[in-house]
Amino acid sequence: YIELIEEFTLEEALKFHAGLKPLLPGFTPARLYELLALPRTRAKEIRYFSSGMKQRVKIALAVCSDTPVLLLDEPATNLDTQGVAWYKELIAAHAADRLVVIASNDPHDAEFCPIHLNILDYKKSERL
């Protein structure tokens, strides 16, 4: 789970994260900022972002971190239609060759995944 420090500006948050966790090859905090497509927010404190803007930042930090496994929980929560399209494009462009696990009640969040597991299929049946 990625928690954003509300008192940081977006630029500070991106640099802080990159200092803790390596980014994918070729990525820098500046490139992450461009990828977010949130104009005029570089110097804005995270606390003043909408919930959708915060979700974009969290998704970008997760997807663009250099990790072999990507775990996303309800990734499209708080995203508008444009944000959902952005999320799907980001995954398509930067999640290749990694294990991506998406936990969601919305089937559209993971429609691009080749394998789907329904947790209810693994629930033990109750005996009367």
Domain membership of residue 95 (yes or no) is yes
pTM for the model: 0.89
Domain membership of residue 17 (yes or no) is yes
Residue 74 near residue 107 (C-beta atoms within 8 A): no
Q: pLDDT value at position 120?
A: 83
pLDDT in tens, 21-45: 999 999 999 999 999 999 999 999 9
User: What's the CATH code of the domain at 80?
Assistant: 3.40.50.300
Domain membership of residue 40 (yes or no) is yes
Q: pLDDT value at position 23?
A: 98
For the chain, state the CA radius of gyration.
Answer: 16
Domain membership of residue 4 (yes or no) is no
Number of domains in the chain: 1
Domain membership of residue 127 (yes or no) is no
Letter string b/e over residues 1-19, b meaning 16 or more CB atoms within 10 A of that residue's CB: eeebeeebbbbbbbbebbe
pLDDT in tens, 64-84: 999 999 999 999 999 999 999
Domain membership of residue 1 (yes or no) is no
Q: pLDDT value at position 99?
A: 94
Quote the domain boundaries for residue 53. 10-122
Domain membership of residue 2 (yes or no) is no
Q: pLDDT value at position 107?
A: 84
